[in-house]
Amino acid sequence: MTMEKCLIVAIADNNAIGRKNQLLWSLPEDMKYFKEQTTGHPVIMGWMTYQSIGRPLPRRTNIVISIFPWPDAPEKVVVVESLDEAFAAAQKACESAASAETPKCFVMGGAYTYAEAMQTVDTLYITHVHDTVEDADAFFPPIDPEIWYPASVSDTRTDPASGLTYEFVIYRRRPSQEP
């Protein structure tokens, strides 16, 4: 059983994704989209991303990459030392879940983990938020159109509270660019 390796993130027009280990926006529809896509699948994140959330996400195997020992990790968190180990742990979780749908995992941050994962993931779930965040300190790598093509693009939506516009785009790796 081959697991689909996915990545999920909300990015600004200038590729900004965070500031001081926090999300840049509070977009309820994006949070709903994130939950719909990732629930039931393993999620992979760096230690700092886990710290910003503060708890394991429910109904998902939470895999945290940490180069430091973490003896008091929460019971529902799998701690690994590398992205390769994280993908292996996600594969194991998918095999034990025995779901009818295609097994997949989601890389969900932070910037360093995204940059490394871009070399090997199959699919990108990107929320393009039409905003430029000048004081961001975490950025997503450029999405190279030679490698990625948009397989699905939602209608442009507007967040009623902030007035920000955004759309959900699913990118697939071009067959000639498979890792």
Mean pLDDT score, 62-70: 91
> 168 is in which domain, residue-wise?
4-177
Which CATH number does the domain housing residue 46 bear?
3.40.430.10
What pLDDT is attached to residue 98? 67
78-102 pLDDT, tens per residue? 999 999 999 999 999 988 876 657 7
Q: Which residues of 156-169 are buried (b: 16+ CB within 10 A; e: fewer)?
A: eeebeeeebebebb
d(CA 137, CA 91): 32
**Percent of the chain at pLDDT exceeding 90:** 85
> Residue 139 burial by CB count (10 A; 0-12/13-18/19+): exposed, middle or buried?
middle
Beta strands 165-173 and 157-158 are antiparallel
Q: Is a pLDDT exceeding 80 seen at residue 1? A: no
Q: Which two tokens stand for residue 60?
A: 């998902």
Domain count, the chain: 1
What pLDDT is attached to residue 97? 75
**pTM attached to this predicted model:** 0.95
C-alpha distance from residue 68 to each of 43, 80, 164, 168 (Å): 19, 9, 38, 35
